[in-house]
Structure 1
Amino acid sequence: MQNLKNKDEAVVVFSGGQDSTTCLLWALKKYKKVYAVSFDYGQRHALELECAKEIADKFGVEHHILDMGLLNQLAPNSLTRTDMKVDENAPDEGTPNSFVDGRNMVFLTFVAIFAKQRGISDIITGVSQSDFSGYPDCRDIFIKSLNTTLNLAMDYEFDIITPLMWIDKMETWKMADELGGLDVIRDMTLTCYNGIKGEGCGHCPSCKLRKKGYDLYMKYKEDHK
């Protein structure tokens, strides 16, 4: 297995949403150079990529967008198909229709290839088992498994880092605030499944989770003045 080469640089899997932007801010405090990699997989809201570019530009981060259109063809879901309405509540069985089969596995694999070509070992992603919305590819066991697989597949020592894995949305807002990015997260990110920037639509699962966390954090700040 090849030795770690460059621990001064990192690659962030970057969607322009709350979690990945918090991870970008986290990485900028820890590394000399950070790359942001986003994916065009036919998502319904091209604004997501525009937000990602805008945020990357704001912080002077080199931003790359990779074409993953095949994922949309293989895994129909409500985030890519206009004829499918986003589930507003988690189903009794199975995953929500906003789950894209294989998305995190594919994204992390391509980011690993991107990183290795630059001699980078650290890959940062904003998945969380605390608030994973029923998505199996946000679990810690999956990340550890894929990390091992990528190391073996490319004979290279990657380190997939998950700063948000064990914290909830309230704690994610707290982290963003401590990193000096609360306003950026609140106003510039796109987390809404219906493609509305900032506070979002208010009723999709992602917006509900985001708002609940924000309200709890605002109360926490008020109580700890």
Structure 2
Amino acid sequence: MKTSKALVVFSGGQDSTTCLGWAKNRFESVETITFDYGQKHRIEITQAKKIAKALHVNNTVLSLDAFAQLNDSALIDGTKDIGAHHATHANLPASFVPNRNAIFFTLAHAFAQKQGIEHIIIGVSQTDYSGYPDCRAPFVDALEKALNLGSEAAITFHAPLMHLDKAQTFALAQTEGVLTHVIDDSHTCYNGDHTHKHPWGYGCDTCPACVLRKMGWEEFKREENVRNS
């Protein structure tokens, strides 16, 4: 039986769309929150609104101008090579946005308090996390504890993709009934290409996000063929 309210941190990408399907199948009331932080792949905001509407959930968009001022990521600065190393974190990809998830999750936590929501669903994964340290379980656990301590709240973070790779994420999207939305509507391409469609969805086919998604789709289809043979 579905109970309680849930908030999905929703980028409109493959992972968060899968998480939205997962949440709708487990919670009585679900809404989404999307962040406009000056990302060059702004099409994801449009797609987030489209998917939320199609799945009959409310979507709130919060604007965060501070990230543009920090300008420390190729996801924001269009002059930086998306496939290079990060300028100030040499061991991380150029797409890393310092403290992005900490800020997103903190704001989601505050929004959840305002809305009387007990659960927050996030699409992070430490299996296919592209080297981002803020996509790992210890970070999520520590932040949940700190935010609840700092607000006398008892909100639970859920990361259903934490231990799944991209192939398993495609499989979960199929199980939760949102695979069509993942393929036809979601956006993960760092270059903001939503004009070229592939079997795995829209994208440039060359940026790290597209390569990871493509590889996951191909593995998902191989495993599906084996199951059906």
**Equivalents in 1 of 2:224, 2:85: separation in Å?**
29
**Equivalents in 1 of 2:168, 2:104: separation in Å?**
25
How far did residue 101 of structure 1 move? 0.3
Structure 1 runs, 4 residues or longer, greater than 4 Å off: 88-93
How far did residue 76 of structure 1 move? 2.0
Asked if structure 1 preserves the Cα contact closer than 8 Å seen for 2:4 and 2:118, the reply is no
* 3-state SS of 1:130 partner: coil
Asked if structure 1 preserves the Cα contact closer than 8 Å seen for 2:85 and 2:91, the reply is no
Asked if structure 2 preserves the Cα contact closer than 8 Å seen for 1:38 and 1:49, the reply is yes
Taking structure 2 as the reference length, the TM-score comes to 0.92
| 1:117-148 CA distance string (max 9 Å, x none) | 11112000000000111101001000000001
Paired positions, count:
219
User: Within the alignment, does 1:139 sit opposite 2:142 as a pair?
Assistant: no
CA RMSD of aligned residues (A): 1.6
**Number of the residue aligned with 2:198:** none
How far did residue 184 of structure 1 move? 1.1
Change (3 A) 1:203 1:88: farther
**Number of the residue aligned with 2:91:** 94
How far did residue 75 of structure 1 move? 4.2
User: Identity of aligned pairs, percent?
Assistant: 41
**Number of the residue aligned with 2:197:** none
User: Within the alignment, does 1:67 sit opposite 2:24 as a pair?
Assistant: no
**1:221 counterpart (216, 221, 224):** 224
Asked if structure 1 preserves the Cα contact closer than 8 Å seen for 2:191 and 2:204, the reply is yes
| 1:64-115 CA distance string (max 9 Å, x none) | 0001111221242111111112016899941111000000000000000000
Asked if structure 1 preserves the Cα contact closer than 8 Å seen for 2:86 and 2:96, the reply is no
Asked if structure 2 preserves the Cα contact closer than 8 Å seen for 1:77 and 1:98, the reply is yes
Gaps of 5+ in 1: 1-6
Deviates more, 1:195-204 or 1:15-24: 195-204
Gaps of 5+ in 2: 195-200
**Number of the residue aligned with 1:4:** none
**1:184 counterpart (170, 181, 195):** 181
Amino acid of the structure 2 residue aligned with 1:211: K
